[in-house]
Homo-oligomer: A and B are copies of this chain.
Amino acid sequence: MINVGVIGCGYWGPNLIRNFVMNPDTELLWACDLDEERLEKVLSPYPGVRRTTSIDDILSDPSIAAVAIATPVHTHFPLAKISLESGKHVLIEKPLASSVDEGEYLVSLAREKGLQLMCDHTFCYTGAVRKMKEIIVSGELGQLYYFDSVRINLGLFQHDINVIWDLAPHDLSILDFLIETKPIQVSAKGACHAGNGLENIAYVTIEYADNFIAHLHLNWLSPLKVRKTIIGSSEKMLVWNDLEPAEKIKIYDKGIMVKDEEMEERGRLLVSYRSGDIYVPHIDQTEALSVMITEFASCIKEDRQALTDGEAGLRVLQILKATEQSIKNDGANVPIQ
């Protein structure tokens, strides 16, 4: 049993609280928020959980093994730092920190202390993304060629970040989870139509080794809601439509066959097409957050790296940073460190 404290009871905190309470591997001892009224309201169904407005109460409790941080992004770094320094494992909302430097500091602090630093890349724990990982790892798709994601909707305009910081972390954490080759460079274009200097539409291209290319269409100003990803590949191809209630993932036995010998003969490429069955695998419906918390608890118990560890969070930050630099430089190619 892992004893846990949750820091931050705003938008996401209550979901963490509910899942820590239900999870057989964790016990929620503390919850912390600066707003006492909110704290009371959120904790009302859980009378056994202690409440505090001071993180020190949690960090100084020796029975606490781990904290989960669900506070505004600019507080991630100081709160994670002091928690790790206090010897607590840390689960943190995405993005890991406000800058790559902060992220690197946290990753090496956790390593030094021998503590877990895990990012809550929730999408990676959904049945759909886990199924996609399984399919890719099985080799069924052959060589991966491209990842094309459209994540568009009307709303919700943020007042302090652009559409990239709002929506790209979802795709970037999924990409990091699914794709083993390393990204090389990013370029991004966008436009702002609301008069506040923050892009509400953006197109991001990420180039990888081995000719793999990822592209994101991110948009707060679309009349349609779309959340659709196509993975193009050499053997089968995959489409993930996250808005489909019952057929989220389709695997198409489709592709091209290039006939090399004829290519030389006639001095040109002959391409033929295959079009076979389509397969819609059943998707596990377990709540992603529940799977994520089980992973957190078992990483602590087994002392192993989480699927979405601090380094995964750091890699996402690196691409976000490069994307931001590119969009500010009119689409320049920005290398990923």
Contact surface of A with B, Cβ cutoff 8 Å: 44-45, 145-146, 148, 150, 152, 154-155, 157, 159-160, 187, 189-196, 198, 201, 203, 205, 207, 211-213, 215, 217, 219, 221-225, 230, 232, 234, 237-239, 246-247, 250, 252-256, 258, 260, 263, 268-271, 273, 275-282, 330-331, 333
30 A-B contact pairs sorted by A residue (CB < 8 Å): A145-B191, A145-B193, A145-B201, A148-B217, A148-B219, A152-B230, A154-B254, A154-B256, A155-B273, A159-B269, A160-B268, A187-B187, A187-B331, A189-B205, A189-B215, A194-B271, A201-B213, A203-B205, A215-B217, A219-B232, A222-B230, A223-B230, A223-B250, A223-B254, A246-B278, A275-B282, A277-B279, A277-B280, A277-B281, A279-B279
Residues A193 and B211 in contact in the complex (CB < 8 Å), given A145-B221, A239-B223, A247-B278: yes
- Which of B45, B192, B205, B279 interacts with A331 by CB under 8 Å? B205
- Which of B191, B212, B282 interacts with A276 by CB under 8 Å? B282
Inter-subunit contact A203/B215 (CB<8 Å): yes
Whole-angstrom CA separation of A44 from B155 in the bound complex: 35
Inter-subunit contact B268/A252 (CB<8 Å): no
Whole-angstrom CA separation of A234 from B221 in the bound complex: 9
Closest partner residue, chain B, to A257 (CB atom): B194
User: Closest CB-CB distance, A183 to chain B, in whole Å?
Assistant: 13
Whole-angstrom CA separation of A224 from B273 in the bound complex: 14
Inter-subunit contact A222/B215 (CB<8 Å): no
**Max count, chain B CB within 10 A of own CB: residue among A193, A256, A275:** A193
Whole-angstrom CA separation of A271 from B99 in the bound complex: 27
Hey, which chain B residues are within 8 Å of A189, CB to CB?
187, 205, 207, 213, 215
